[in-house]
């Protein structure tokens, strides 16, 4: 997975490549899909949600440029896989999920894989997790029409946020850095995520 899907496609951050070779992705997919856990794609994890494609997880992590001492917020826990990769790359990870079944499932998977220090929360992540802010980095794994102001507001100065921005059917990954002059944005690859529902996401949640 790391050599073929990541390195050959241009993921060059050695810390990200190493982190993804360490995290047992098969522990984060339903048992019936374990045999395809390392293949090149998103996979269903129940409740209409998906575990992201490895290349996209690697791209998000690379854009965040983590060095090891950061506090990171992961919005949209889903399977817990992205949170586990972030835990390999940073000092503290807080992850938030809105669907109780997924929250419970991810807690179990994270514990089973040895990531019990990841802090799991149940709630509307479009509002962030204010009581643990500020964050050096925020990774959003669900699509939104715009960067939720609450999330940007929970970034530390110089902090970086990655989010799939666009419509419900297709988006592009956007990197936003918090500066004294306001957000500085850079657009990365096209992508397709499930919608971020909730107060500052799409309606319907
Ligand atoms: N990072 C995940 C990908 C999960 S897909 C992984 O590695 O497996 C996106 C997740 O975002 C879904 O589980 C969905 O339920 C969740 N989600 C959508 N809107 C949300 C919100 N407002 N707050 C928290 N989670 C949300």
Establish if 34 belongs to a structural domain.
Answer: yes
CA of residue 129 relative to chain centroid, distance: 14
pLDDT digits (tens, 9 = 90+) for 125-159: 999 999 999 999 999 999 999 999 999 999 999 99
**Does the structure show a pLDDT above 80 at 190?**
yes
What average pLDDT does the segment 6-35 reach?
Answer: 97
Ligand 1 nearest-atom number relative to CA 124: 23
**Does the structure show a pLDDT above 80 at 87?**
yes
Establish if 205 belongs to a structural domain.
Answer: no
Establish if 199 belongs to a structural domain.
Answer: no
pTM of structure: 0.97
Look at residue 205 in the predicted model and tell me its pLDDT.
52
**Does the annotation count 52 as an active-site position?**
yes
Establish if 198 belongs to a structural domain.
Answer: no
Establish if 53 belongs to a structural domain.
Answer: yes
Instruction: Tell me the residue range of the domain where 13 lies.
Output: 2-191
Q: How confident is the model at residue 17 (pLDDT cuts 50, 70, 90)?
A: very high
How far apart CA 79 and CA 150 sit, in angstroms, is 24
DSSP secondary structure string, 34-99?
A: GGGTTSSS-EEEETTEEEPPHHHHHHHHHHHT--SS-EEEEE--TTSHHHHHHHHHSSEEEEEES-
Look at residue 203 in the predicted model and tell me its pLDDT.
84
What average pLDDT does the segment 170-180 reach?
Answer: 97
Establish if 29 belongs to a structural domain.
Answer: yes
- Best substitution site from 45, 102, 141, 192 to test ligand 1's pocket, by max atoms within 8 Å of Cβ? 141
Around ligand 1, the residues with Cβ closer than 6 Å are 49-52, 75-76, 78-79, 81-82, 96-99, 102, 124-126, 141-142, 194, 196-198, 201
Establish if 39 belongs to a structural domain.
Answer: yes
Look at residue 195 in the predicted model and tell me its pLDDT.
96
Total domains present in the chain: 1
Give the CATH number of the domain where residue 93 resides. Answer: 3.40.50.150
């Amino acid at each position: 997975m790391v050599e073929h899907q990541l390195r050959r496609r241009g993921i060059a951050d050695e810390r990200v490549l190493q982190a993804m070779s360490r995290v047992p992705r098969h522990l984060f997919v339903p048992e019936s899909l374990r045999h395809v856990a390392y293949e090149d794609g998103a996979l269903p994890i129940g409740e209409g949600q998906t575990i992201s494609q490895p290349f996209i997880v690697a791209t998000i992590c690379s854009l965040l440029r983590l060095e090891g001492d950061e506090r990171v917020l992961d919005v949209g826990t889903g399977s817990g896989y992205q949170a586990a990769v972030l835990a390999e790359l940073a000092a503290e990870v807080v992850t938030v999920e809105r669907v109780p079944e997924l929250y419970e499932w991810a807690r179990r998977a994270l514990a089973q894989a040895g990531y019990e220090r990841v802090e799991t929360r149940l709630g509307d992540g479009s509002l962030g997790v204010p009581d643990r802010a500020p964050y050096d980095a925020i990774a959003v794994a669900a699509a939104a029409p715009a960067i939720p102001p609450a999330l940007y507001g929970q970034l530390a100065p110089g902090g970086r946020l990655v989010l799939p921005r666009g419509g419900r059917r297709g988006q592009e990954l956007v990197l936003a850095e918090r500066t004294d002059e306001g957000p500085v944005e850079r657009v990365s690859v096209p992508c397709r995520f499930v919608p971020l529902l909730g107060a500052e996401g799409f309606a319907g949640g």
